[in-house]
Structure 1
Amino acid sequence: MTLALSTPDLYIITLTCAGLLIALVAWLPLALRQLPLSLPIVCILIGAALFLLPDIPLDPSPLVWPDVTERVTEFVVIIALMGAGLKLDRPFGWRRWGVTWRLLAITMPVGIGAITLLAGGLGLGWIAALLLAASLAPTDPVLAADVQVGPPRTGEEDEVRFGLTSEAGLNDGLAFPFVHLAIALAVSRASGEPWLGKWLGINVAWEIVAGVGGGWVIGRLFGWLTFHIPAETKLAKTGDGLIAIAATFVSYGVTEMLHCYGFLAVFVTALTLRASQRDHAFNVQMHDLTEQVERLAMMALLLLFGGALVSGLLAPLRAVDILLVLLVLLVVRPLSGWLGLLGLRATRAEKLTIAFFGIRGVGSFYYLAYGLNRVDLPQAERLWAIVGLAVLLSILLHGLTVTPAMRWLDRRHGRDPDTGKPVSAGEGSGDEPSARVSS
């Protein structure tokens, strides 16, 4: 008697792959903890291997799925922004957040200007160059997890981790206006309608102010529901971290309906929600669930990115495009970061680390998809190839260096890199501690 084996249908294959992905989400971060290798690198390699298999029916190129690309990357970014805001222990304040304001007010605009000039000078049109610059300038909140602060109340919040986390959370408030500027210039070129007044009044003033205000109001509301209503109906008593996902969706949805920056609103909502009861244990539960959802969505997206790479995403690249990407990662970000940090009370090692680890990632995909879905630019394939290469090289460059760099930094600060706990004076490196901003 022979047993006939039928070919499994797509649903069963998808279910099996989803189970394997979830298992990797739980196991890989532990396996990679002490290795000079990051989770995104492994995800891209797995995705590339899967899409090299014969008879794969899906073409994962963002050029084939422009709307899906925008929505999927949007989802991953807003979840990451909520997680970033929830894990920041440092109370909000102009002086306490000095490193953040420097990165936003100096590093970001200088980076956008430099990339625009380089891209325009190397053959891209100036509107395409501006859209590319706005897409590549922000530090990514998704792929920068290894250089961000630890979970709430763990004490893993030195100036480097805090600066990179807060920058990634807030830099959308400065990057998005430049995306809209590129769109406005493209529309004006085609129709002749004026653009400056609308851009300054709506895309800069209204969308930033309303995004911050809307995020604060929704954060206050969820903070009251979670921590301050009568004890028998207090959401914090449930231990259900899903409330953070609810706050993410409500904040983003409401502020987008008001035509303001939902990314900015979500991060402000997270900060306000955390501030409602900064030291409550429920913050850890909300953060942990948000991080799990973020990691699962990120891994799925990076599998598709790996597939897009082996399906020809980088084929339109020219030699000057490779040069441009190398200049962005190795020259523009480090120099603009160093310029922004001049005068900051921090050690040279901290400034160099912050300046170097300006990771490009999922946010860059979103901004480019958003722009190209609203204006027709003649070099869309080339723009996707440049951004794809920039994200790939950023993941490789920063992923291979982040573990040794952050472990070295921890030792300089007198912390055990594995436990995060202080080590005795005899075990430290003897270097001076980081300059602290008083709270």
Structure 2
Amino acid sequence: MALIALIVMPVDFAPAGEMLRDRRLPRRLRQSLVVESGYADAIRSPLFAVALIAAQAPAQDGSLLDVVEHAVPEIGFALLIGVGAGLLAGWLARAAVARGWASAHGIRLGTVLLPIIVYAGATVVHGNGFLAAFLAGIAYKSVRVRREPSGDEVLRDEVSLLDEIGVLSSLIMWFVFGAAAALVFLAPIEWAYLLYGLLALTLLRALPVLAAFLGSRASRRERLTLGVLGPRGTSTIMFGLLAFNALDGAAANTALYVMVVTVLGSVLLHGLLGVRLVGALGWGDRPEVAVRKEHSR
């Protein structure tokens, strides 16, 4: 149950990117959704690793203690390798640029190789590769640009190649998802999985979000918007495929089926109806947007 929840809950705007550019939504709401989609995977990755080990434990006659014994080293190695490699790479990049030993092109290549090397190194020692790469990025930025006023601009230029490769990787992931969806379409219809996918996109996200905002200063409409606008994309595909490859039998098929149903449902709900959904939540033309439109006319 925990594994399935971790598969279907990650927010990713790959199928509904236009919602982040919809200026009818207040900027702080759009930024909140971006932060959630960008940072939550690092929180879920170690939890996913623990849940995956636990899901495999019955077949291995394992206990909860065995699960903890496997999970703690994974997280520990991820912390050690991710933070260590990120700090070292950031210091080397900063020193090389300051001394004129490396060009911006060379630094771009380095930022592409860093997460690959960190992920591979962490998995070799049975650490969590996703968590290690995430921590390496944070550590790299903290040393590479520190708190310089132009730091964000410098970093944006140096990771531009990484962003382009990320877009290409995302397209490849969607191709793999299409192949997985074809397998599900050939299987008998599982109404329970269809219902669960629908609930995951609606109530199972909206209710916890509303509960988390109890006592906050956010308006009711803002809370509801954050609860409803939660598209699923590459993160759900990645976790679902990892679970499918690691599990056997009915458990693997369940993970794959639920992943496909949830992502396809999100494409329909948030992708095709995203703009109308924003309007249905009461976000019409805000004053400044209406003024700009009138001025353009």
**TM bucket normalised to smaller:** 0.7 to 0.9
Q: Give the count of matched residue pairs.
A: 284
Seen in structure 2, the aligned counterparts of structure 1 residues 244 and 177 have a Cα distance that, compared at 3 Å, is: closer
Q: Deviations over 1:68-104 (max 9, x none)?
A: xxxxxxxxxxxxxxxxxxxxxxxxxxxxxxxxxxxxx
Asked if the contact 1:222–1:273 (Cα under 8 Å) also holds between the matched residues in 2, the reply is yes
What is the SS of the residue equivalent to 2:232?
A: coil
Structure-1 residue corresponding to 2:212: 340
2:164 corresponds to which letter in structure 1? Q
Select the residue among 107, 113, 136 that pairs with 1:246: 113
Structure-1 residue corresponding to 2:235: 363
Structure-1 residue corresponding to 2:94: 227
Seen in structure 2, the aligned counterparts of structure 1 residues 371 and 230 have a Cα distance that, compared at 3 Å, is: closer
Q: Distance in 2 between matches of 1:187 and 1:214?
A: 26
Asked if the contact 1:159–1:350 (Cα under 8 Å) also holds between the matched residues in 2, the reply is no
* Offset at residue 238 of structure 1 (A): 3.9
Q: Distance in 2 between matches of 1:256 and 1:349?
A: 43
* Offset at residue 327 of structure 1 (A): 1.0
Structure 2 counterparts to residues 53-68 of structure 1, below 5 A:
none
What is the SS of the residue equivalent to 1:316?
A: coil
Q: Does 1:286 align with 2:158?
A: yes
* Offset at residue 301 of structure 1 (A): 3.1
Q: Distance in 2 between matches of 1:362 and 1:179?
A: 15
Q: Does 1:159 align with 2:31?
A: no
Structure-2 residue corresponding to 1:125: none
Q: Does 1:255 align with 2:131?
A: no
Q: Distance in 2 between matches of 1:391 and 1:184?
A: 24
Select the residue among 264, 272, 277 that pairs with 1:392: 264
Asked if the contact 1:314–1:386 (Cα under 8 Å) also holds between the matched residues in 2, the reply is no
Select the residue among 202, 211, 216 that pairs with 2:83: 216
Q: TM-score, normalised by structure 1?
A: 0.54
* Offset at residue 255 of structure 1 (A): 2.4
Q: Does 1:351 align with 2:223?
A: yes
The root-mean-square deviation of aligned C-alpha atoms, in Å, is 3.7
Q: Distance in 2 between matches of 1:303 and 1:236?
A: 35
Higher normalized helix content (fraction of residues): 2
Asked if the contact 1:173–1:261 (Cα under 8 Å) also holds between the matched residues in 2, the reply is no
Q: Distance in 2 between matches of 1:252 and 1:144?
A: 28
Q: Distance in 1 between matches of 2:112 and 2:67?
A: 32
Structure-1 residue corresponding to 2:59: 190
Q: Distance in 1 between matches of 2:78 and 2:192?
A: 38
* Offset at residue 235 of structure 1 (A): 3.9
Worse-matched range after superposition: 327-336 or 212-221: 212-221
**Structure 2 stretches lacking a partner, 5+ long:** none
Structure-2 residue corresponding to 1:200: 68
Q: Deviations over 1:92-120 (max 9, x none)?
A: xxxxxxxxxxxxxxxxxxxxxxxx3xxxx
Q: Deviations over 1:136-193 (max 9, x none)?
A: 12223755755669xxxxxxx9433333333333333443444444444444423433
Asked if the contact 1:314–1:389 (Cα under 8 Å) also holds between the matched residues in 2, the reply is no
Seen in structure 2, the aligned counterparts of structure 1 residues 158 and 297 have a Cα distance that, compared at 3 Å, is: same
Q: TM-score, normalised by structure 2?
A: 0.76
Structure-2 residue corresponding to 1:266: 133
Worse-matched range after superposition: 287-296 or 274-283: 274-283
Instruction: Calculate percent identity across the aligned residue pairs.
Output: 25
Select the residue among 191, 202, 205 that pairs with 1:319: 191
**Structure 1 stretches lacking a partner, 5+ long:** 1-115, 117-129, 150-156, 418-422, 428-439
2:211 corresponds to which letter in structure 1? L
